[in-house]
A and B are shown apart, each in its own frame.
Chain A
Amino acid sequence: MNRPSIWKKLSGEKTFKDALTVFLAGMTIVAASIVLANVRVLARGAAASRDSRILAIRYLTHLGRSLWDTAAEKNLMVAAQETAGLIMQAEAYEKMSQGIDAALYRITRNRLAQIKDIIAAEGRISKPPYYDSRLGTFDLARYYLDRVFIPAAELLERQEQKKREGAFWGVKSDAYATGLAVLAVAVFLLTLSLVLSGKIRFLMAGVGLALVTAVASMSAVTAARPWRGRSDESVRELARAAGDTLQARLVLDYGGDLNAVEYFAGEAAKKIELILKRDPNYTAAVELRARLRSTRGEALFFDGKTAAGRDEIAAGAADLESVLRSGKDDGYIRWSLGSAELLLGRTAEARASIDKALTKLPEHKMALGILRAAALRLGGGKAEADQALEAALAHAAAKPLASDPVFFRTFIRNFERIVEIVPSNGLEAMVRRLKEASVSIAQGKGPRPQEVSSRVKSLQFVNPVYDKMGEITAVPPCAEYPRLTARAHFLVEYAGMSKGQSIVLKVLRRLPGQVFWTELLRLGRSQHWDAPEEKTEGRLLGSIEYPMPEAGEILSTGEYRVEIYLEGNLAVTGTFRVL
């Protein structure tokens, strides 16, 4: 009964206009409320954006400052190491001398010891936890992680959070601004219905009313969405977990001690688990877990536990895919995914991921190209793989990066290990090609080794016997040297050598219980043949030793492999062992 009467009342022009006028007045309150809400989110957005910029500057400031500090500490460490070496040298000479000479070496040793103590008192790196006084070793990697990397990672993550917060308030502000624009249209329609007559005014008023209702509802929904940033605690923990993850990766890539990898990976895993328990949707933590799982999986895989390793790598790949699904897509994620898929034997997927990474990281054509060639080779496409490998090597020769030698060493090392543990379909040929290309490119002679007629007929490890005059009387073969050996001798038989020819000697070591052959750069040598013209054929006695064996630099226990390259061609390989 009431409805028709209200409708009848509203149908009257005066009542309609009165009601609409009051409604329009009420709308100003709605508009003012939306403006207020918009101003509040704009204020928070501007503050977040400012904080994000300040944090970005603080990040750069920190990097600048901490790198200078690290340089100073590294100088101090090198000075202390050199002094320690000189002390050992003086001690060795003192024992070998007598009388005044011995006294002078003693004076020198004491003097150096005094200086070493003074230097040690000056720095942070010369004190625990970065200095192990029992072994006399410095942990520069831990110092770098604690003083440079972890604070930088925390600042960067806090900056990322502020950036995301700024974007969040920006989206809200856009929603309010759109609402206000729609409200203006509604005002226009409602005002139009005030001046029109007939049924059209009801249509205008109806549409205006519907728009106002829609704007009010949308604004209420927008206002109800809270900002859910990550807690400071999670951000701090994430930075520490990133430090442990990086240390695990550094140990895997540069050291090869798989037990140490597992230790640091375990520490990182505990922290990441805690963060994800608190913030299950923390994408950065999921991405970090993916990297950690890849590192852990690779360590297990290369340790010969291929099934367990692949399970871990697959879990890491699933994490990477979830990160990609969340909208974060960069070349490094695609690279990691491609690498994981390669080890999982999913060669087609690996190729697709590497191709996507290549479009985003064209500067890494060499590393990604080698990975792509490996995926093709393991997938059975030999010709295509060779082509991809040659393209990658040509790029490395044309546009070398400082990181190229590291990539060469890591690929050679990992591929050699893959060949040892799983059927690898012609990867051996790739390993040889990579070895020769790395030497040739390092000498600036292009990706292919030079054609040579010279050769090394044999390489034998020996233990020379000296007479009283210091002359060598015999060179019996010796495949195993005793503990604390400072040098190992080798005898090579060569033929067809020409003057100026390049000779590169590389020494690799596999420590007991470890799976990787790691190149020992300080034992390697690069020389040119400068013997007289007539000496194109003969025998040569050489040695493997550190630059300062008297300072206690000995060949530690383990298996050693020596590779000799002539003009970039791998001429001969031999192994010996130090007990």
Chain B
Amino acid sequence: MNPPESPDRLKNLLSILIAIAAVTGALASLQAIRIGGQASSADGKAIAAALDEAATEISIASDVFANETMARELLVHRENAKAIRDEAMRNPAVPGRWLDEWQSEMIRARARQTQLNTDFLKSVDGRQVFESERFMAATRAQAAGEKALDPTPFTVRSEERRSDWIFLVALNLFFTTAIFFYTLGLKTDIGRKIAWAGLGAGVYAIGIGLAAWNIFF
């Protein structure tokens, strides 16, 4: 039976420890690659969300333009008609054709009002105003229910994944340092072997501890 400080048994132990550190490092690298992929995927989703946001915003802007133009026309016709009617009521000099004009203005205005989405028309001081801000918010909310419209959550996620990626790669520094100390243990006198092996094990334990902390906390 060999004594515990037998060089062969220690060498074997150190070789096993080197192999364990190398395998742990490789596992950390594999995980790092996986996490790096997740970060890239989050980047892609952020870009896709920005594109969806662009399409929605431009479409809303064009709808607002159309609705506002229609609301303004409607408003002008109604005001026009109102002024003619008021004048016709108090001024007998207003000729008949003006009253005809008023009636047809009213008919046109009503027809346009029914065309327009009345949910977003409100009356301010007696005049019809298209509520563009509320229309935008409602359309945006509807579009957001169908697809992601804000890239920010994806960019935040990507930053988190990326910091995990860097952390996992950084763990390799501990494992390679442990391998270095184990190798020193293999190649030095018997007294110092234990010290180098202990140092290596200590550095390895710190790396594993940090990984555990990152996973569980």
Contact = CB atoms under 8 A, between A and B. Distances in A.
A115 B58 contact: no
B46 A68 contact: no
A43 interface: yes
Contact of A57 (B47, B72, B94, B127): B47
Contact of A43 (B39, B75, B76, B155): B39
A100 B159 CA distance: 77
A541 interface: no
B194 to A, nearest CB: 17
B180 A111 contact: no
B64 A61 contact: no
A35 interface: yes
Interface string A62-102: 00110011011001100100000000000000000000100
Contacts of A543: none
B76 A119 contact: yes
**Chain B interface helix/strand/loop/mixed:** helix
A69 to B, nearest CB: 7
A18 interface: yes
Contacts of A115: 76, 79-80
A69 B180 contact: no
A36 B46 contact: no
B15 interface: no
Interface stretch (A24-32, A250-258, A522-530): A24-32
B131 interface: no
A65 B80 contact: no
Contacts of A72: 64-65, 68-69
Interface in B77-124: 79-80, 83-84, 87, 91, 93-95
| Most chain B beta carbons < 10 A, residue from A68, A75, A103, A122 | A68
A141 interface: no
Nearest to A122: B72
A43 B83 contact: no
Contacts of A35: 169, 172
A465 interface: no
A195 interface: no
B208 interface: no
A43 B84 contact: no
Interface string B165-190: 11001101101110110111011000
Contact of B179 (A28, A51, A100): A28
A541 to B, nearest CB: 37
A68 B172 contact: no
B127 A118 contact: yes
Contacts, number: 136
B58 A65 contact: yes
Interface string B147-171: 0000100010011001001100110
B72 A119 contact: yes
A557 to B, nearest CB: 35
B46 A26 contact: no
Contacts of B47: 50, 53-54, 57
A57 B54 contact: yes
A39 B46 contact: no
Contacts of B177: 29
A518 to B, nearest CB: 32
Contacts of A18: 187
Nearest to B175: A32
A306 B113 CA distance: 62
B33 to A, nearest CB: 10
B199 interface: no
Contacts of B95: 104
B31 interface: no
A22 B54 contact: no
B57 A65 contact: yes
Nearest to B29: A35
Contacts of A114: 79, 83
A569 to B, nearest CB: 45
Contact of A54 (B72, B151, B184): B151
Contacts of B129: 122
A107 interface: yes
Contacts of B62: 68
Contact of A76 (B72, B159, B165, B187): B72
Given A104-B93, A114-B79, A118-B79, 4 more contacts: A39-B169, A46-B40, A107-B94, A119-B76
Interface of B: 25, 32, 36, 39-40, 43, 46-47, 50-51, 53-54, 57-58, 61-62, 64-65, 68-69, 72, 75-76, 79-80, 83-84, 87, 91, 93-95, 127, 129, 151, 155, 158-159, 162, 165-166, 169-170, 172-173, 175-177, 179-180, 182-184, 186-187
14 contacts: A24-B183, A28-B176, A43-B39, A46-B43, A47-B159, A50-B158, A58-B50, A60-B54, A61-B54, A103-B91, A104-B94, A111-B84, A118-B76, A122-B68
